[in-house]
Structure 1
Amino acid sequence: MILDGQKYTIQLHDTAGQEEYDKIRQQFYKRADCFLLCYSIDNRVSFENASTKWIPEIKTNPPVPIVLLGTKLDNRKGKNNEVSTGEGDRLKRAINANSFVECSAKDYRNVELAIEEGMRACLMGVPEPEPEDSWACCKDALRCF
């Protein structure tokens, strides 16, 4: 891939979520330069698993950059059980991911951006955690004045 005029070779590994691949996944994690952590926008369980199952599993020492990907963007229909963009953004901050992208392989929306963000994360390394915004709860109320 070419990013900012520089040519890079990338290798993607889909480590699958099935339990029978647990040992194989661990081997891939040791050599990872970046994780593209995916959840399905139309599947709340997959979103919850991103933080409760996958983040604990992929946490490495030293830490490795993470790009959070909300997949199946083409399935967003505005239903209550869907994961909102705001929820994805909050998870991105909670896990200290480098970036967050919603994408769709079906209609090829933001797929290239997702890969570019992965490459940028590899180059930048793990970001400093964002400071907690102690005024976040009040900002909406302040906009009213």
Structure 2
Amino acid sequence: MALVSGHPKSRLMKGFTALGPYIREGQCSDDHFFFDCLAVCINMQPSPEKREFYGWWIDLNAEEKRYTYTYHLGLFDKEGHWSEKKIKEQEVLDKLESSLRQFHTRLRAYIVSLDMTLEPADSFKDHPFSLSS
């Protein structure tokens, strides 16, 4: 199936998977892709399936000539759901920002290889830091 951008979805999924362990295929749809990263474990005591993490997630949308994104920082809870949360610990925030910037660089390079651009969504105004580069 070719997307609005003209690229086959199977090719895109293969390319997105090669970027690292971030794509959540089950949460993707025709022109929407979901990536996340469980960057910092909050408590190692519970069993792995009950742990909570600080991390980030990106919603990526395919348009005719570009891909747009929004990203969020927050908490991945023991039920497996994301919620936005202001990160107060500077060390945690630094780790989230670093991992998100590294992923964004690889994502941008892949999208440019498709002769497309990667831009913040028009409605995305409240981002904690800029990913442009």
Higher RCO, 1 vs 2 (CA within 8 Å, ≥6 residues apart)? 1
Q: Which structure's residues are more often strand, by fraction? A: 2
User: Normalising to structure 2: TM-score of the pair?
Assistant: 0.29
User: Normalising to structure 1: TM-score of the pair?
Assistant: 0.27
